[in-house]
Structure 1
Amino acid sequence: MATQVTTKEKHLKVEIINKTYVKPQKPLGRKEYQLVTFDLPYIAFYYNQKLIIYKGGVEEFEETVEKLIDGLKVVLVEFHQLAGKLDKDDDGVFKVVYDDDMDGVEVFSAVAVDTASADLMDEEGTIKLKELVPYNGVLNMEGLHRPLLSIQITKLKDGLVLGCAFNHAILDGTSTWHFMSSWAQTCSGSKSISAVPFLDRTQARNTRVKLDLTPPAQTNGHSNGDTNGDANATQPPAPAPLREKIFKFSESAIDKVKEKVNANPPEGSTKPFSTFQSLSTHIWHAVTRARNLKPEDYTVFTVFADCRKRVDPPMPDRYFGNLIQAIFTVTAAGLLQANRPEFAASMIQKAIDMHDAKAIEARNKEWESNPIIFQYKDAGVNCVAVGSSPRFKVYDVDFGFGKPESVRSGANNRFDGMVYLYQGKSGGKSIDVEISLDASAMENLEKDKEFVIQE
């Protein structure tokens, strides 16, 4: 039965026309993978949502959906964890389990008859986008009885939207885009993928941690809307209204930011600040100004750093799972703003450089001795928290009907100060900065000529 969802404010009508489940194209038997210390802190985050907007693929929409499903069957042979479920062993240790009898990946096809790709490109926030991606407001813990990946393919007037909801307890951004690029490869005619995922998480950490958590009640109703009914018990109180906006930094703008931050290198410094460190400093300063903080107020900069090359022994880039840790830097707002940008950049650079195998091991041991389940917004007071990475080649995800027009994050896991960095569509060093802020702070940020660099 078709389900129609309407967002009155934006007049977006999405009709779900079909739902199916997709399994690997051949039997694999039963496979189990223990979740490790790098995975478990994210069990109380929400599903991680990504949206990719295309202009192609609409002429023969049914054939396009079939092609995407056929490619999905192929790629799931290697990425079969995404077709499984969360479970616990007899000792209460979380694991991801795949079995041929499981449903597999959930796939919706839908139509937004009155919407063109340009309508979505102009959308700054996520009100309209929420209807284009599954599992809004669904916690990762619900992977005990939900698919670990849900996909919605929505036909537009002149293209389509691919909306994916990934269970963040089993993979990070690197693994997400490894899967997406591999799926695109199979849909473009490749018989095999270029990088087979490395699936043994215990090679990165083999400590068994029991989490005494009560699983959430299974939600009812269509899974593509905000959860309701019994699921409300799993939801935290609604946060204050946020505004979301994408700030596009061209290659020349990035060069200007980097030049400014590197103009006065700290005494004794021999290592220039990277593009990431320079842009992070630029954002941290601007958001702190926009918030009108008192000089004595603390502000925290948080980055979710990829630890694949930092652990001992190093793990391959194709390691499938979470291999990230949050790195924190804190200072007083007055001190941040009274100093030149290299002050903040030095703190960020030092925190990242010091997060080596020894620091990672110490963090893991500390967490294992007292496991703390983070909420998605626990990134620090007055924080700027950076996720995703402009290194992910998101605009190369071509399923055979053209490169993306836009890549966005969904509404889940957003809070005041959350920043997502994406490769810019124009290529080169261009970067899209997707920021969520308190509405008044966002208004100030938009007017900040120092932040919004004029070309």
Structure 2
Amino acid sequence: MARNPPSLRIISECFIQPYDVVTNSQQSKQPFYLTPWDLVYIHPRFYVQRGLLFAKPPQPHDHFMKTLLDKLKLSLSLALVHFFPLAGRLKSIKNQNPLSYSFYVDCNDSPGAKFVYGELDNTTISDILSETDVSESMLQSFFDDDRTVDTDLDATSLLTVHVTEVVDGVFIGCGMSHFLADGNSFWHFFNVWSEIFQAQDQAAGSTTTTTTTTSISISRPPVLDRWFPDGHGPLINLPSTPFHDLGHHHDDNGHDHGYDSTKICGAPKFRVRTFHFSLQVIAKLKAKANSEGKTSEISSFQSLSALVWRCITRVRCLQPHQPTTCLIPVNTRSKLNPPLSQDYFGNSVGITVAVTTAGELVGENGLGLAAWKLHQAVVNYNDKAVRKRLDAWLESPMFLNPQDGGLDPHWVMINGSAKFNTFGNEFGMGKALSFLLARNTATSGKIMAHSGREEGSVDLEVCLPPDTMFDLESDQEFMEAASRC
């Protein structure tokens, strides 16, 4: 008998400001300007939503949730002192002759980051983890909203924390506007928030330390200085046309350019499954890829990505001459010369592209060919390539729109990174049991990668049409490497 959809009950909502906003640094009172990397993602549906599921203590005390929520709010407020743009609001400047817009984040004129607490009635950890495919309705219960329709960008919280209580567990979800942060910056914030929470607990339980909750230092302060290509910034003027479908911007005649919800309702349905790859399996894939490619330069992640690209292409049953593309976002902080700090807060991502034919990819060349092509794409994306891409964008700005779907039906795009510290985040309940993310931009061939619960392992969330997913689950090469989550 099918289980009824979970019923979420919102118990409280509030806004969290950086701790002691009156004494914040002078930098926090200045506009936080958006770079070309940031502006690409100005769209309400580009909202990075991730979270962790924790088990409650075996015998939680009567005030367990109240105590947890108070600690989460205080540690969040302390974290926002360092990441104060997350408590701000997007602002725009309308320029005339010619008509254009400029965007920045106002860190002062804002109620703060949004904090939501709710209960998911009659739902247990087992109900969540036992599902082969976690349902859309379940996932939506864990996050504030899906940012799909009728959203004003200038009224949107740039950071929303959604704490959901289930019978025997707690899900801590975090949503962040993508134009403000990439995956590297998202997890940097999440890690610091966890670090402050744990230090707060240690300070409260110590009888010898003089450390107070307001003086907790952090191991990796974010670098908030903005980076712009030579000759540009801090405000970048952009043509008005691309913004007519972003939220509810009105033109000079008062016409509302909001979303057409039928575009979303008419989207094809997908299945999404998470597959687990152990440290030992990944080591074997790396050894095989390097052996077949007659090299030692191919990385573990490139080898795993090559396996996924090769197997998905095979089950799509493409003709041998048909082209297939694999896209992998690359952290460009280390690609620039001089490099940016890995603690640079904002977006610093480029897209590498590897292209071949289906016949070449799934033929006798094996894993080595696909992995070497991915390796070359990453290596060739150097300082010169990064700056060339940014210069071209500034000449003719183009804006990503998740409603457009994939670039083509034969692509594979592997987002995320196994390098992010996902399961190292703790909030007084031990190590998380599971990681979940919202699916507000589901597209065939889109894959989300993150570190697994066991050290060195990787989990891949794969999105495909149902028939293609069935075939992938039956693909011998893929399933010999993957275990099901």
Rounded Cα–Cα distance in structure 2 between residues aligned with 1:378 and 1:94: 27
Offset, 1:198: 0.7
Contact 1:81 1:98 in 2 (8 A): yes
Contact 2:329 2:352 in 1 (8 A): yes
Rounded Cα–Cα distance in structure 1 between residues aligned with 2:12 and 2:284: 49
Aligned to 1:291: 316
- Correspondence 1:450 to 2:465: no
Contact 1:82 1:105 in 2 (8 A): yes
Q: Mark the runs of 5 or more structure 1 residues left unpaired by the alignment.
A: 1-7, 220-228
Aligned to 2:180: 170
- Correspondence 1:93 to 2:118: no
Contact 2:139 2:437 in 1 (8 A): no
SS class of match (1:348): helix
Contact 2:128 2:134 in 1 (8 A): no
Offset, 1:289: 1.2
Offset, 1:315: 0.6
- The one of 244, 253, 261 aligned to 2:281: 253
Letter of the structure 2 residue corresponding to residue 36 of structure 1: T
Q: CA, structure 1 residues 234+103, in 2 after alignment: closer, same or farther (shift >3 Å)?
A: farther
Offset, 1:202: 2.9
Aligned to 2:70: 66
Contact 1:307 1:323 in 2 (8 A): yes
Q: CA, structure 1 residues 234+174, in 2 after alignment: closer, same or farther (shift >3 Å)?
A: farther
Q: CA, structure 1 residues 185+97, in 2 after alignment: closer, same or farther (shift >3 Å)?
A: same
Contact 1:151 1:164 in 2 (8 A): yes
Q: Which stretch of the first structure deviates more once superposed, 359-368 or 122-131?
A: 122-131
Counterparts of 1:233-248 in structure 2 under 5 Å?
A: 233=260, 236-237=263-264, 238-248=266-276
Letter of the structure 1 residue corresponding to residue 16 of structure 2: V
Offset, 1:299: 1.3
Offset, 1:358: 0.3
Q: CA, structure 1 residues 354+10, in 2 after alignment: closer, same or farther (shift >3 Å)?
A: farther
- The one of 197, 204, 212 aligned to 1:187: 197
Rounded Cα–Cα distance in structure 2 between residues aligned with 1:216 and 1:345: 38
1:301-341 CA distance string (max 9 Å, x none): 00110001111221101100000011111122122112222
Counterparts of 1:108-147 in structure 2 under 5 Å?
A: 108-123=116-131, 124-127=133-136, 128-138=138-148, 142-147=152-157
Offset, 1:442: 0.3
Q: CA, structure 1 residues 47+436, in 2 after alignment: closer, same or farther (shift >3 Å)?
A: same
SS class of match (2:337): coil
Offset, 1:380: 4.4
Contact 1:142 1:215 in 2 (8 A): no
Rounded Cα–Cα distance in structure 1 between residues aligned with 2:341 and 2:408: 30
Offset, 1:98: 0.8
Quick one: percent identity of the two aligned structures? 26
TM-score by length of 1: 0.90
Aligned to 1:214: 244
Rounded Cα–Cα distance in structure 2 between residues aligned with 1:245 and 1:278: 20
Offset, 1:286: 0.7
Contact 1:286 1:451 in 2 (8 A): yes
Letter of the structure 1 residue corresponding to residue 140 of structure 2: K
Aligned to 1:102: 110
- The one of 174, 189, 199 aligned to 2:224: 199
TM-score by length of 2: 0.84
Aligned to 1:154: 164
Across the aligned residues of Structure 1 and Structure 2, the Cα RMSD in angstroms comes to 2.4
Q: CA, structure 1 residues 64+250, in 2 after alignment: closer, same or farther (shift >3 Å)?
A: same
Offset, 1:234: 6.7
Offset, 1:231: 5.9
Q: Indicate the structure with greater helix content.
A: 2
Letter of the structure 2 residue corresponding to residue 11 of structure 1: P
Letter of the structure 2 residue corresponding to residue 313 of structure 1: P
SS class of match (1:283): helix
Q: CA, structure 1 residues 133+118, in 2 after alignment: closer, same or farther (shift >3 Å)?
A: same
Rounded Cα–Cα distance in structure 2 between residues aligned with 1:139 and 1:280: 33
Rounded Cα–Cα distance in structure 1 between residues aligned with 2:372 and 2:418: 21
Q: Which stretch of the first structure deviates more once superposed, 345-354 or 110-119?
A: 110-119
Letter of the structure 2 residue corresponding to residue 422 of structure 1: H
Give the count of matched residue pairs.
Answer: 434
- Correspondence 1:412 to 2:437: no
Letter of the structure 1 residue corresponding to residue 8 of structure 2: V
1:48-100 CA distance string (max 9 Å, x none): 1112111137651121111100111111011111111111235422111110x
Aligned to 2:39: 40
Q: Mark the runs of 5 or more structure 2 residues left unpaired by the alignment.
A: 96-100, 201-215, 250-255
SS class of match (2:479): coil
Q: CA, structure 1 residues 324+234, in 2 after alignment: closer, same or farther (shift >3 Å)?
A: farther
SS class of match (1:278): helix
Contact 1:126 1:244 in 2 (8 A): no
Aligned to 1:225: none
SS class of match (1:129): helix
Offset, 1:232: 4.3
SS class of match (1:115): coil
Q: CA, structure 1 residues 398+283, in 2 after alignment: closer, same or farther (shift >3 Å)?
A: same
Counterparts of 1:264-413 in structure 2 under 5 Å?
A: 264-266=292-294, 269=295, 271-338=296-363, 339-376=365-402, 377-413=405-441
Letter of the structure 2 residue corresponding to residue 121 of structure 1: L
SS class of match (1:255): helix
Rounded Cα–Cα distance in structure 2 between residues aligned with 1:85 and 1:235: 29
Q: CA, structure 1 residues 360+236, in 2 after alignment: closer, same or farther (shift >3 Å)?
A: farther
